[in-house]
Structures are given as structure tokens and as C-alpha cells.
Structure 1
Amino acid sequence: MKLLEWLRGEGRIQGFLRDLLFVAVVVGVISILSQVTLGVWTPMVAVESGSMHPNMKVGDIIVIQGASRTEVVTWKEGEARGYSTFNNPGNVILYKPYGKEKLTLADQAAHIFLRRPYPPDKATPVIHRAISWVDEGEPMWEGGPAAPFAGYITKGDNNSEIDQNAGQLLGVVRESYFNEQMARGMIEEMGNGTYLDHELGYTFIRRGDEVYVIFGINYLMPVREDWVIGVARYRVPLVGYVRLLPSIVGNEIREFFS
């Protein structure tokens, strides 16, 4: 009770704490309502690149419905049904590239203000259109390699290549390193010859007797169903610049002092 009486006081500290508590309660209520209605705790993402231009622009806020609350309609299915969103057939999905966990606000703040590199086993979610579904063993594109597991083929509306064909092989992994990381439990097998190194963030793919390091958005792998965070539903122009502003300012500061 004494604490409550103290919080009701007129001092600056009490006022600041009351404001902070109010904001925390509002954010909590919004998060709970979002989870109940949309199936996600954080229903909005800011568009950070031009890969979906002009249907989604840098600085837009996109409202996401959780994957557990809806189905994903691919471009091919959308064409057959006459169903479109954001000016093209099918759904735009938010997914975790290579299944990596999302960057936290703390990760982003440390990168912007302390110049720390992003954790290698995390990545910014990608918001691209689901083009088609492939089963394990099916070619990921015409004349392309077989899918190591079932999942979605994805593409930015403004990109010339699908995500699965937008990347490169960086080289062959030393067998000693690969075996050592496997023994330490730092490499996760993602299915059918694909692996994720949680220590350094590398993505590997085994072909025959050799293991290659690969680089890209989701190169040589479809987007597994459990990597899909949700489906894009609404677009709010420009508001996302509030979310992107710290990164923009941080980059300008680094440029100035570099």
C-alpha cells in the first residue's frame, strides 16, 4: 500500500513511473488482443527494402495474421481461384529465412549504437510472396535442383529471381570443422542434407561427399511451413519510418565518424 501511495505522489520520478506503467499496460493489452484476434504477439512489421515495390514500399507498416489462424494461398493457386492480395495472385508471407530466429530489439540496438554485428544465428524475417508449393524431391524451379524438403517457393514482387535461386555457393566446408561443430551440437540438421551452424550462422548443404557453404535469402531451400510467421493482410503507408528511424540515424552517424 505504501508503494501505491508513493506512486500517487506528485514528484517527477512518480510521474515518470506512472507514464511508464501506463505504456507497459497499453502495449500488453495490444499484444494480448493481437494474439487473440490475429494469432501473433507482434502483428506489425516495417518494410525495410524495395523487393516488394510498388505493392509494398519502404516505410510501410504491414499487419500480419498468424499462420495458425489462416491458410497460405500461393500465386499458382490464386490464379486458379481468381484470388489476389496486394495487386498480385496469392498471399504475401512473412517467414524466417533458413528458419533462423528473429532479431530482437536488443540485437538491433546493439548493432545501431554499439556497432556490434548481428548474431549470426538470427535474421530479419523476409516478407515475400508465396509462388508455389513443392514436395520433397520435386524440382524447385524448371530445370532446378530437387527440394531437400517440402515447402513454399517465394519471391519478391520486384525481384527478377525466386528466393531459392537468388544466392551462391561460397565454397566447400572442411570436414574436420563440420564434424567438430556437429559433435559440439552447434550444427542443426534441417532435413535432407541441409544444416544450420548456430555459432557462426553458416548454412550448409550436402551434395554427395562434400558439404558446401551457401549464401542468399533462402537459397536452394523452400520455406518450410513451420518457418512461416504469418500472412500479410493490410498495408499502412509511411508509418514504418518511425520503426526504421533509429537504424537510419545510426547509419548516418557511423558514416559521419567513419
Structure 2
Amino acid sequence: MKLVEWLRGEGKIQGFLRDLLFVAAVVAAISIFSQATLGVWTPMVAVESGSMHPNMKVGDIIVIQGASRTEVVTWEEGEAEGYTTFNNPGNVILYRPYGKEKLTLTDQVAHIFLRRPYPPDKATPVIHRAMAWVDAGEPMWEGGPEAPFAGYITKGDNNSEIDQNAGQLLGVVRESYFNEQMAKGMIEEVGAGTYLDHEFGYTFIRRGDETYVIFGINYLMPVHEDWVIGVARFRVPVVGYVRLLPNIIGNEIRELLS
């Protein structure tokens, strides 16, 4: 009771704490409402690149409906059914590339202001269109390699290549390194023959007796259903720059210091 009475006082500290508690309560209420209605705790993401231009532009805020609350319609299905979103057939999805965990606010603040690198086993989610669904063993594109597991073929509306064909093989992984990382529990299998190295952020694929390290958006593998965070429902222009401003300022400061 004494704490409550103290918070009701007229001092500057009490006023600041009351404002802080009010903001926290509002954020909590929005998050709970979002989870109840959309199925996600944080329903809005800011567009950071031009890969979906002109249907989504840098600085737009995109409202996401959680994957558990809806079904994904691919470009192929949307074209057949006459269903479009953001000016093209099918749904735009938000997904975790290679199944990596999302960057947290702490990760982003440390990167911007303390110049720390992003954790290698985390990544910014990608917001691209679901073009098609492939089952394990089906070619991911005409004449392309077989899908190691079932999932979505994805592409940015402004990109010339699908995500699964936008990357490169960097080389063959030493078996001794692979086995050491496996023994340490630093390598996790995220799909049939596909692995993530949580220490350095490498992505590996095993083909026969060899293991390759790959680089790209979501190279040589479809987007696993479990990696999909949600479906884009509508956009709010420009407002996302508020979210992107710290990154822009941080990049400018780093450029000046270097």
C-alpha cells in the first residue's frame, strides 16, 4: 500500500514511473488483443528492402495474421481461383529464412549503438510471396534440384529469381568440423539433410557422402511450413520509417566513424 501511495505522489520520479507503467499497460493490452484476434503477439513489421516493390515499399508497416489463424494461398492457387493480394495472385508470407530465430530488440539495439554483429543463428524475417507448394522429392523449379522436404517456393515481387535459386554453394564442409559441432550440440537439423550451425550461422546441406555450406535468402530448400510466421493482410505507408530510423541513424554514424 505504501508503494501505491508513493506512486500517487506529485514528484517527477513518480510521474515518470506512472507514465512508464501506462505505456507498458497499453503495449501489453495491444499484444494480448493481437494474440487473441490475429494469432501473433507482434502483428506489425516494417519493410526494410525493395524486394516487394511496388506492392510493398520501404518504410511501409505490414499487418500480419498468424499462420495458425489462416491458410496460405500460393500464386498458383490464387491464379486459378482469381484470388489476389497486394496486386498479385496468392498470399505474401512472413517467414524465418532457413528456420533461424528472429532478431530480438536487444540484438538490434546492440548492433546499432554498440556495433556488435547480429547473432549468426538469428535473422530478420523475410516477407515474400508464396509462389507454389512442393512436396519432398519434387523439383523446386523446372529443371531444378529436388526439394529436401515439403514447403513453399517463395519470391519477392520485384526480384527476378525465386528465393530457392538466389544464392550459391560456398564449398564443401570438413567432416571433422561438422562432427565436432554436432557433438557440441551446435548443429541442428532443420529438415531432411539441412542443418544450421548455431555458433557461426552456417547453413549446411548433405548430399550423399558430402556436406556443403550454402549462402542465400533460402537457397536450395523450400520454406518449411513451421518457418512461416504469418500472412500479410494490409499495409500502412511510411509509418515504418519510425521503426527503421534507428537503423538508418546507426548506419550513418558508423559510416562517419569509419
For normalisation by structure 2, the TM-score amounts to: 0.99
| 1:124 is the counterpart of 2:128 | no
CA distance in 1, matches of 2:192, 2:100: 17
With normalisation by structure 1, the TM-score equals: 0.99
Residue in structure 2 matched with residue 205 of structure 1 by the alignment: 205
Pair 1:138-2:115 in alignment:
no
Match of 2:233 in 1: 233
Q: Structure 2: any 5+ residue segments left out of the alignment?
A: none
**What secondary structure does 2:212 align onto?**
strand
Alignment partner of 1:45: what SS? Answer: strand
Give the secondary-structure state (helix, strand or coil) at the position aligned to 1:127. strand
| One-letter amino acid of the structure 2 residue matched with residue 221 of structure 1 | M
1:182 aligns with 2:207: no
Distance 2:139 2:208 in 1: 18
1:153-175 Cα distance to aligned partner (Å, 9 max, x none) = 00000000000000000111111
Q: What amino acid maps onto 1:179 in structure 2?
A: N
Pairing 1:1-258 to 2, within 5 Å after superposition: 1-258=1-258
How far, CA to CA, are the matches of 1:40 and 1:136 in structure 2?
Answer: 28
Shift of 1:209: 1.4
Deviates more, 1:208-217 or 1:143-152: 208-217
Secondary structure of the equivalent of 2:254? helix
> CA offsets, 1:35-61, max 9 Å, x none?
000000000000000000000000000
Counterpart amino acid of residue 79 in structure 1:
E
- Give unpaired runs (5+ residues) of structure 1: none
Aligned length: 258
Distance in 1 between the 2:83 and 2:140 partners? Answer: 23
**Alpha-carbon offset, residue 257 of structure 1:** 1.0
* Residue-by-residue CA offset, 1:85-132 (whole Å, 9 max, x unaligned): 000000000000000000000000000001100000000000000000
Q: Whole-Å Cα distance in 2 between the matches of residues 114 and 190 of structure 1?
A: 31
Shift in Å at residue 185 of structure 1?
1.1
Task: Report the 3-state secondary structure (helix = DSSP H, G, I; strand = E; otherwise coil) of the residue aligned with 1:190.
Answer: strand
Distance in 1 between residues matched to 2:257 and 2:183, nearest whole Å? 43
Q: Offset at 1:191? A: 2.3
- Partners of 1:192 and 1:2 lie apart in 2 by 59
Three-state SS of the structure 2 residue aligned to 1:147 is coil
Distance 1:205 1:120 in 2: 17
Q: Secondary structure at the match of 1:26?
A: helix
Which deviates the most, 204-213 or 113-122? Answer: 204-213
Question: How far 1:239 sits from its partner (Å)?
Answer: 0.1
Provide the secondary structure at the position in 2 that maps to 1:246: helix
Computed over aligned residues only, the root mean square deviation of the Cα atoms, in angstroms, reads 0.5
Letter in 2 for 1:209: D
SS of 2:153's partner is strand
Q: Partners in 2 of 1:196 and 1:94 — Cα distance?
A: 20
Q: Once superposed, which parts of structure 1, at least 4 consecutive aligned residues long, lie more than 6 Å away?
A: none
